[in-house]
Structure 1
Amino acid sequence: MFKETVDFIKELYNTEDFIPLHEPRFIGNEKEYVNECIDSTFVSSVGKFVDRFEEEVVKFTGAKHAIATVNGTAALHIALLLAGVERDDEVITQPLTFVATCNAISYIGAHPVFVDVDKKTMGLSPDKLEDFLSKNTEIINGECINKSSKRKIKAVVPMHTFGHSVQIGEILQICQKYHLELVEDAAESLGSYYKGKHTGTYGLFGTLSFNGNKTITTGGGGMIVTNDERLAKKAKHLTTTAKVPHKWEYKHDMIGYNYRLPNINAALGCAQMEKLPYFIDKKRELADLYKTFFLKTGVEFVSEPEGTSSNYWLNAVILKDIKERDSFLEQTNNRGVMTRPIWKLMSSLKVFKKVQGGNLDNAKWLEKRIVNIPSSVII
C-alpha cells in the first residue's frame, strides 16, 4: 500500500525528484512588485504595499480591520495582550498545535491550560471545553476563576489545524457564557470557512501566518484581523514600537514592539493574494484526488468537517497505529516523498509538562496516527 501511495504522489506531481511537503508558488506579479518596492527604496516598515496587503486581507476575509506583522507568532502575542491577558493569567488552548500557540501565551508570562481536541476537526473540542469549564471554574465578579490554581482564565485560543475549521461557533458561545475572550489561531486557515464565515473572524481577534510553507507567503509574516476599530488602531500602534506620530521627534507612549511587516515582504504578499482563489481551488482539487485514491487503500483521508469549507493547507491521513505510522513515514521519505507526523503534544514538552489539562485522549490518539502528505499546489 505504501508503494502505491508513493507512486501515486509521484504521478500527481509528475516527477521522480524529491517532493517537498509544501512549497510556495510564484506565478504572478511577485517579481514585478518586489522590484517596484526596491526601486521605491521603501523596503522596511513604511510603504504602500503594507497598506495594500492589509486591505486585500480585509477584502478577502470579511474582517473590518487587518494589521500586518512580522510573523504569525507576533500577531498572536499582540492579540492576546489586547484581549486583556496579563502575567499569571491563564489561557485555554489545545495540546495538539504548533508550539507558536503556546509560545505566544508564554511571552506574556501567562499560563496555557490544555483542553482536548475533537478527532474530526483535530482542533479544540467545544464539548471538552464546556466540560472543563463547568467542573474547574467559577465566575466571580464577572471573571472566570480556575478553582484549582486560583488564577483568572482570560481567553481561549483554538487553532484551525491544517486549515480545517474547529466548531468555532459553538466555542464562541461557550466563551461568552464563561466571560472569556476568543482569540483564533488561524495561522493555517486563510481561505477556510465555518458556516460561510471566514475563520479568524469569529473571535475578538484572529491571527494569520504567511510563512514560506503556508497557502500564500510573504517569506515571513503574519496578520491580526479584528472587527474592533479601537483595538485595531492600538494593535497598529503597539506593533510599530508605540511611536507617537511627529515630524521629527521620537516619542513613545507605552511599551511597544518592532513587529511591523516590512514593505518588501508585503509586496510579495500582494502578488500572492491575487492568486489566492486559484491556489485554494487547486488545493481543493488535490484533496479530492487524494480522497478518491485513499478510498481504495483502506487508509482514512482527513476531510473537511461538516459545515466547513477548508483550504486543505496540509493534507493528512490517519494510520491505524504508531507502528504503521512510522513505517509509512520511513518508506515515503526513503523514496523522496516528504511526509511528517503531526506535532508532539505540547503537554509532553518539558517546558509545558506541569501545565494543567483535562483528559487528552483524542489528542494522544491523533498524535500516534496522523501523517501529513505533499500538499503543494500543482500547476
Structure 2
Amino acid sequence: MNIKKLSLEQKIADTFQRKYCVLVGSGTSGLTLLFQALQLSSNQRPLFPSTSCLVAYSAAMYAGTTPEFSDISLSDFTMDLTKLEEALQNNRQIKYIVPTHLYGHIYDVETIQSIANKYSVQVIEDAAQSMGASYKGKPCGSFGLASILSFGHTKVLEAGHGGAVLTDDLVLYNEICKLEKKLQENFLKGSHFSVNDMQENYRKEYYESIRNQTAWNKNSTENLLNIQTNYKDCFVMPYQPTYSEKIALLLDSLSDKTALRLENAQLYKDLLSRDDIDLAQIHEGSTSWRFTFRMDSNKRDSLLAYLRSKNIHCSSWYPYYPRLFEGNEIHLNSLILEKEVVNLWVDGTYSKEQIKDICTHVNEWDFHACS
C-alpha cells in the first residue's frame, strides 16, 4: 500500500470531521507551528490546564511566548470551569485556551467554548490522548479553532512519529502549511541526526531529572527547562512520509483500539474493590488513555513500588509542571493530583487475565505491611 501524504491528510480530516489537516513531525511540532501561524507575541499567552504533558507547555516556549495555567477539577482531571473563568477575568494577555482531554477524559466542550466566547478568546483542542473519544456524537479532534493530534510515544495510535493539526479555517491551514514546508526545507539543509536516538536520549535525561519529584528547587527546574530547550529538534521537526502507511493502518483500527481500551478500563473498574481508591467521574464518550485513579499520598508511592516489584507497569503522571515557570499562582488541585494519581495500562499490554491478576494484587496489597 502506497499512502501519499495528501491522501492521508484527507483521511485524517474525514475521520475527525474537519475540513483541513496538516501532518507534522509530532503533536508538539503541530502546536508550535499553530502558535507561530497565529503570530502570538510574547505578551499574548496560551492558557493550559495545570496538569498536562510538559511538551505541550514547551510548544509555547518554542513559539516565543509563555504558558499560563488554570487549575483542574479533581472529579475528572480536566479544566476546572470556575478557575478557567477567573483566569480569563484576571489576565487579559490570555488569547487562547488549550484544554486537554486528559487521560482520554473529555473536557466540557460546550461550556469551555461558551466561556471562551464570553472573553473573546479562541479554543485550541488538545486531543493527543483522546483519539477515539467523542462529545455528543462528534469526535474529539473536531472542536475549537484547531485541534492537535499525536501519533507519538504512548499515544492511542502509536506510530512512533507524527502528529496533525486539524482546522476548518482555510487561512490558518495555509499558514501552517507554509511553516511546515519551511521546516522541511530547513531540516534538509541542516545537519542530519537520528530522531529516534535523540528521543531516546531525551527520555533518559527527562526521567532522570524528574525521578526525585519531592526535591524540586531552582536548579532542578532550570535543568528540566534546559532539557526542553536542548531537545527542541526532536519535537519541532518535519513530518516523515515513511510513517504514512503505518498511521493509515492505525486509523483503520481506531474503533477496535478504542473498544479494547474501554473494555480493559471497565474491567479495572469492576474488579478493584478497595475503598481507598477514588475513581474519576468521566463524561460519556470518553476513552481511556490509562486507567487513572487517586489514592491518598501517604499510600500512593508505596502502592507504585509494590506494583513495580511485581513487574506491573504503572505511573504517576503528571508532575506539577507549572512550578517550572516563574510568576504562576499555585494550583492546589493539580498539586494534590501530582501526589495521588495512579495510572494502569489499558492498551493491550496486558491480557484480560493479567488485568484480573493486577486487580488482585492491588486489592490484596497491605500498605502497613509494605511501609
TM over 0.5: yes
For residues 76-91 of structure 1, the aligned pairs below 5 Å read: 76-91=31-46
Q: In structure 2, what is the equivalent of residue 266 of structure 1?
A: 244
Instruction: Give SS of 1:187's match.
Output: coil
**CA distance in structure 2 between the partners assigned to 1:237 and 1:304 by the alignment:** 42
**CA distance in structure 2 between the partners assigned to 1:345 and 1:84 by the alignment:** 28
Structure 1 gap ranges (5+): 1-32, 38-47, 138-144, 146-151, 245-256
Instruction: Give SS of 2:172's match.
Output: helix
Q: In structure 2, what is the equivalent of residue 286 of structure 1?
A: 264
1:81-124 CA-to-partner distances (Å, cap 9, x unmatched) read: 23342223222112211111110011122111111011122121
Q: In structure 2, what is the equivalent of residue 71 of structure 1?
A: 26
Which residue of the other structure, out of 85, 90, 94, is the alignment partner of 1:153? 94
Q: In structure 2, what is the equivalent of residue 248 of structure 1?
A: none
Which residue of the other structure, out of 318, 330, 341, is the alignment partner of 2:316? 341
Change (3 A) 1:74 1:288: same
Q: CA deviation at 1:303?
A: 4.8
Are the equivalent residues in 1 in contact too, given 2:49–2:79 (CA < 8 A)?
A: yes
Q: In structure 2, what is the equivalent of residue 20 of structure 1?
A: none
Change (3 A) 1:182 1:84: farther
Q: In structure 2, what is the equivalent of residue 366 of structure 1?
A: 337
| Counterpart amino acid of residue 114 in structure 2 | Q
| Counterpart amino acid of residue 166 in structure 1 | Y
Q: In structure 2, what is the equivalent of residue 29 of structure 1?
A: none
Are the equivalent residues in 2 in contact too, given 1:49–1:264 (CA < 8 A)?
A: no
| Counterpart amino acid of residue 297 in structure 1 | R
Q: CA deviation at 1:53?
A: 2.3
Q: In structure 2, what is the equivalent of residue 102 of structure 1?
A: 57
> Is 1:178 aligned to residue 119 of structure 2?
yes
What's the % identity of the aligned pairs? 24
Change (3 A) 1:227 1:322: same
Query: TM-score if structure 2 supplies the norm length?
Result: 0.76
Structure 2 gap ranges (5+): 186-234, 352-371
Q: In structure 2, what is the equivalent of residue 166 of structure 1?
A: 107
Are the equivalent residues in 1 in contact too, given 2:183–2:238 (CA < 8 A)?
A: no
**CA distance in structure 2 between the partners assigned to 1:125 and 1:83 by the alignment:** 26
**CA distance in structure 2 between the partners assigned to 1:362 and 1:269 by the alignment:** 36
Q: CA deviation at 1:288?
A: 1.0
Query: TM-score if structure 1 supplies the norm length?
Result: 0.74
Q: In structure 2, what is the equivalent of residue 119 of structure 1?
A: 74
Instruction: Give SS of 1:73's match.
Output: helix
> Is 1:128 aligned to residue 83 of structure 2?
yes
Q: In structure 1, what is the equivalent of residue 293 of structure 2?
A: 317
Change (3 A) 1:309 1:300: farther
Q: In structure 2, what is the equivalent of residue 187 of structure 1?
A: 128
Bigger Rg, structure 1 or 2: 1
Runs of 4+ in 1 over 6 A off after TM superposition: none
1:8-60 CA-to-partner distances (Å, cap 9, x unmatched) read: xxxxxxxxxxxxxxxxxxxxxxxxx4xxx5xxxxxxxxxx4322322222122
**CA distance in structure 2 between the partners assigned to 1:241 and 1:51 by the alignment:** 17
**CA distance in structure 2 between the partners assigned to 1:192 and 1:171 by the alignment:** 17
Aligned length: 301
Change (3 A) 1:61 1:330: same
Q: CA deviation at 1:287?
A: 1.1
Instruction: Give SS of 1:111's match.
Output: coil
**CA distance in structure 2 between the partners assigned to 1:206 and 1:79 by the alignment:** 9
**CA distance in structure 2 between the partners assigned to 1:218 and 1:232 by the alignment:** 24
Structure of higher RCO (CA pairs closer than 8 Å, 6+ residues apart): 1
For residues 5-44 of structure 1, the aligned pairs below 5 Å read: 33=1
| Counterpart amino acid of residue 322 in structure 2 | S
1:258-299 CA-to-partner distances (Å, cap 9, x unmatched) read: 8442111111101111111111111111111111012x2225
**CA distance in structure 2 between the partners assigned to 1:80 and 1:127 by the alignment:** 26
Q: In structure 2, what is the equivalent of residue 239 of structure 1?
A: 180
Q: In structure 1, what is the equivalent of residue 302 of structure 2?
A: 327
Aligned-pair RMSD on alpha carbons? 2.2
Are the equivalent residues in 1 in contact too, given 2:260–2:347 (CA < 8 A)?
A: no
**CA distance in structure 1 between the partners assigned to 2:265 and 2:276 by the alignment:** 14
Change (3 A) 1:299 1:82: farther
Are the equivalent residues in 2 in contact too, given 1:184–1:205 (CA < 8 A)?
A: yes
Q: In structure 2, what is the equivalent of residue 298 of structure 1?
A: 275
Q: In structure 1, what is the equivalent of residue 347 of structure 2?
A: 376
| Greater fraction helix | 2
Q: In structure 2, what is the equivalent of residue 13 of structure 1?
A: none
Q: CA deviation at 1:300?
A: 3.5
Q: CA deviation at 1:304?
A: 5.9
Are the equivalent residues in 1 in contact too, given 2:101–2:130 (CA < 8 A)?
A: yes
**CA distance in structure 1 between the partners assigned to 2:82 and 2:236 by the alignment:** 39
| Counterpart amino acid of residue 374 in structure 1 | W
1:204-255 CA-to-partner distances (Å, cap 9, x unmatched) read: 11101101311112211111011112211221221111799xxxxxxxxxxx
> Is 1:52 aligned to residue 46 of structure 2?
no
